[in-house]
Chain A
Amino acid sequence: MGIKFERVDFKYQGIDNKGYLALSDIVLNINPTGEFITLIGETGSGKSTLVQHMNALLTPTGGTVTIFGVKINQEIKKKKKVKLNPIRKQVGLVFQFPEYQLFEETVLKDVMFGPKNYGISHNEAIKKAKEAIDIVGLDDSYLERSPFNLSGGEKKRVSIAGILAMEPDILILDEPTSGLDPLGKESLLGVFNEIHQRTNKTIIIITHDMNTVYNYAKRVLVMREGTLVYDGSPQALFSRSNIDNWNLDVPDILTLTKALETRLNITIHPAPKNKEQLLNRLKEVLT
């Protein structure tokens, strides 16, 4: 099941009615469990448009997206009875700057809003909200605080809890760490990683940070001008020579490894996955 893209196009109308093709001929399969995917590519390459197809916020102008068995295409516009609400609950999408969307008086009420909207009882919604707030790393003292007096990182956590409380099968986050300081960023990525490890839920993160890609992702999707140009492992991606053509950076650990290989005239193989592996290799060379 999961999410399946079959030759998907999406054309934005545009005010001049010429429109432009934001997605072109996308073929993609996402498993309902076990995936940790990062989606990367230049600004304007179609990343956000792509994920908005994953929970039927957008309908393809060509081709079909199948989300947990529900087909989304131009046909459904003719039939009125396709219910999209269950899909939005199954595939939770956290927008960029979700903190701008907080609106309730207290953190608890804000996080409860989603589950209540999907017909869950008041008491059950409180329970789910409290669990979600705990998962994102905020303690009980936050429950009755106003979301507006929190720091940027805390607000992000509250808005992510709001999606988690709906218990989606797949969690999608659009640049969840932008604007956070390095510690706040690592800590939030740690939360996603833990959710993934503990529940085996599929997680998809849009990012510009190649360190995030290299350190966390099992699979990377690269978008370029509305097409999917790469679908594979981060290790294979960064060993390719066309990274430059796609305007991607190289993770810090690989930049440093390459520089050290040249300067010390050594080979470091296979490429280190993290700092510890690089250190171990250097220990061998230096002793």
Chain B
Amino acid sequence: MAIIDMKNVSFQYTANQKALSNINLTIQRGEWVSILGHNGSGKSTLSKLLIGLLKPSEGEIMVDNTLLNAETVYDVRRKIGIVFQNPDNQFVGVTVRDDIAFGLENLQVERKSMVDKIDFYAKKVGMYDFLDKEPSALSGGQKQRVAIAGILAMSTDIIIFDEATAMLDPKGRKMMLDYMKQLNQDGVTIITITHDMKEAVLSDRIIILKQGKIIKDDLSEAVLRDKHTLEQSNLQLLLPLDILFELEQLQLSNERIKEILWELSLNA
């Protein structure tokens, strides 16, 4: 069942240049989709359209069978949460508690239930002991965890991770990837916007944008080995596959090594 359906969507910031042109994209409930592309390919514009921060110049967007427009945007935002790249740009509260409460207040959740939810989700992301701390006392990874707690508390069906791991250290990054896996197992539809092939490999399906157009939309396993498309999008092959293709060119590959390198690339 489709949870997101974009039909002929275009968007332009200025009169003469389309940031996105004629996007047709259907995402199924429970799917994990990666959106890849070079800097300026339109990835972040796409995510802003999906949460109604931007309005399509042409075409329409359906989220869970609701047409996204000025009247429905607040209902749609109950269904889609987003985690941005820069942890410092998404901390709205004075304390961790305020920050998690922010989304719930907007949903007009009653106080008793709100307090319970804040405690529950703060514990879930391991930030319970930090509830009364201010953002300056937190690391980047911890701020991203608070952002996730805020979204989890709203129980959205879809979560967009817009380069959410790009600024994190290796430990913070690993933790974020573990959350994505867990959420997807729990049935949440995940959209990750990334440059990182090791993140993309976790998804079911990969979409590649180039100059505002979808140039590839296929199962992850197919896109990962599409050297030509990756290269023309400023992306890189995963190292094990890069080695495999080099060995194949030298006619030194065999079934066993192929199998091993393929397996290693999927577990990158």
Contacts and interface: CB of A to CB of B under 8 A. Distances in A.
User: What's the interface size class on A, roughly?
Assistant: 20 to 34
Contacts of A275: 239, 242-243, 246
Interface in A131-166: 151-153
Grouping DSSP codes into helix (H, G, I), strand (E, B) and loop, the A interface class, with mixed when no group exceeds half, is helix
B13 to A, nearest CB: 10
Given A153-B39, A179-B85, A253-B239, A263 B170 contact: no
Interface residues of B, number: 35
A182 B234 contact: yes
A248 interface: yes
B260 A260 contact: yes
B257 interface: yes
Contacts of A167: none
A132 B246 CA distance: 37
Interface string B250-267: 101010010010001000
A279 interface: yes
Interface string A192-222: 0000000000000000101000000000000
B192 to A, nearest CB: 15
Interface stretch (B95-103, B148-156, B160-168, B221-229): B160-168
Given A44-B139, A179-B163, A253-B239, A283 B252 contact: yes
B187 interface: no
A286 B252 contact: yes
A268 B168 CA distance: 32
Given A152-B39, A282-B252, A256 B167 contact: no
A208 B171 CA distance: 10
Which 7 A-B pairs have CB atoms at the shortest separation, nearest pair first?
A183-B234, A249-B170, A247-B171, A43-B139, A181-B234, A44-B139, A182-B236
Interface of B: 37-40, 85, 139-141, 163, 166-173, 195, 197, 234-236, 239-240, 242-243, 246-247, 250, 252, 254, 257, 260, 264, 268
19 contacts: A151-B40, A152-B40, A175-B167, A179-B85, A181-B38, A181-B39, A181-B234, A182-B236, A183-B38, A183-B235, A183-B236, A208-B170, A253-B239, A256-B239, A256-B243, A256-B264, A259-B264, A275-B246, A279-B247
